Every structure is written in structure tokens, then in C-alpha cells.
Amino acid sequence: MLQPARTKYRKQMKGRHKGKAYRGGDLAFGDYGLKVLESGRLTARQIEAGRIAMTRFIKRGGKVWIRVFPDKPVTKKPAETRMGHGKGNVEEWHAVVKMGRILYEMEGVTDDIAKKAMSLASHKLPLPTKLVRRSAELGA
């Protein structure tokens, strides 16, 4: 599972998910990409589940890039705990994604295999996504 080796601060505030991605919205490595259509958060488990679904379907044929990294610590307090006593412990790591961000990229596979693999990955994610192609990026 993805998580940072070290962070400057152990706990972070929640923040907001608004606006569009001004970085990471274009294909940089592969011919196909999975673009997110809403802003939100993805857990490290969801990112890994999407990656596994894609790589199992393409069966060693092609290359997959993960374009997001879960670097935001999310804290939770134990169940049935009274108010107060400070902030809870870090339980999981999230990646904050804005609308228009590319999550995964893929190359070395046919069009229909990429479409099906990205569809399998999108079913593992809580946000709506769409498939983008390199040819569409060039305006063709």
C-alpha cells in the first residue's frame, strides 16, 4: 500500500475539495488515461485496488502508471470515545484529487483491452471517471 516514508507533520487538517486541477490533467506517459470528473479523496486502498484490477486484466501486456499518491494523513478516534482528549491517531492515507486529474495511465495494449481495464479500475473508485486517449489529446 502506498504511503509516505516520512512527513514533516504527523497530522493535517481536513481541507476542502474545490476547483479544477491545473496540473496532472494531460497524458504524460501512456496512450490511455483515467480522468476523474469530480473533486474528492481516494484512499490508498482504493488506488491499489484499481491498479490490481487493471494489471490483472491486461496480463503482463502493457505498462501502467499511477499518477496520484496518498500523502494526506487521515485521523480517526476510537469507537465510543467521549468528546475531547485531542485529535485521533492516523488511521489511513488519502490522495486529494481535483476535477480533471489523471489517475492512471496505460500503454502497450489495444483499444478495447484498455477500455475494459480502465472500466474495471473505475468500479473500484468512489468518484466518477472517464477514459481519455492520446489521439483525443492531439485534437484529432
Q: How do the domains of the chain map onto residue ranges?
A: 32-77+88-137
| Average pLDDT estimate for 106-122 | 95
- What's the average model confidence in pLDDT over 1-17? 94
Q: What is the CATH number of domain 32-77+88-137?
A: 3.90.1170.10
What stretch of H or E contains 134? helix 134-137
Question: Does the pLDDT at position 37 exceed 90?
Answer: yes
Quick one: residue 7, left, alpha or beta (phi over 0 = left, psi -120 to 50 = alpha)? beta
Q: Which range has the worst mean pLDDT, 60-64, 85-89, 105-109?
A: 60-64
Grid coordinates of 103: 489517475
From CA 43, how far away is CA 92, in angstroms rounded? 7
Q: Answer yes or no: is pLDDT of 140 > 50.
A: no
State residue 138's pLDDT score: 53
Q: What confidence score (pLDDT) does residue 135 get?
A: 75
